[in-house]
């Protein structure tokens, strides 16, 4: 993979095959890739707000984890969902 952004496109493509178009457009399409650190095994993704994060965590986190497994070949990547405010303060 040349970049996390390119990998993110593949992850999104996978998610599109697993959830409805409405769910994808409402929840997944609004996520932005921020950073992927293989040494710590963490993928940081930006979400619009805390409600968005809670909904993704509750309903779509497993789908995202499956997508990461398909794209990277490992289930050892922790998905860290953060709001813009959390990214600025960290």
Give the closest residue to 76 by CA, choosing from 35, 44, 40: 40
Write out pLDDT tens, residues 3-56: 899 999 999 999 999 999 999 999 999 999 999 998 999 999 999 999 999 999
For the chain, the residue count is 90
Where residue 76 sits, what CATH number does that domain have?
A: 3.30.300.180
pTM of the model: 0.91
Domain count for the chain, please give it: 1
C-alpha radius of gyration, the chain, whole number: 12
Domain that holds residue 58: 4-89
Render pLDDT for 62-80 as a digit per residue (tens, 0 to 9): 999 999 999 999 999 999 9
């Amino acid at each position: 993979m040349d970049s996390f952004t390119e990998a993110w496109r593949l992850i999104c493509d996978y998610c599109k095959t697993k959830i409805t178009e409405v769910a994808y457009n409402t929840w997944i399409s609004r996520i932005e890739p921020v950073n992927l650190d293989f040494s710590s095994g963490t993928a940081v993704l930006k979400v619009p707000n805390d409600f968005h994060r809670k909904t993704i965590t509750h309903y779509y986190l497993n789908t995202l984890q499956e997508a990461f497994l398909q794209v990277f070949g490992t289930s050892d990547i922790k998905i860290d969902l953060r709001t813009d405010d959390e990214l600025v303060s960290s």
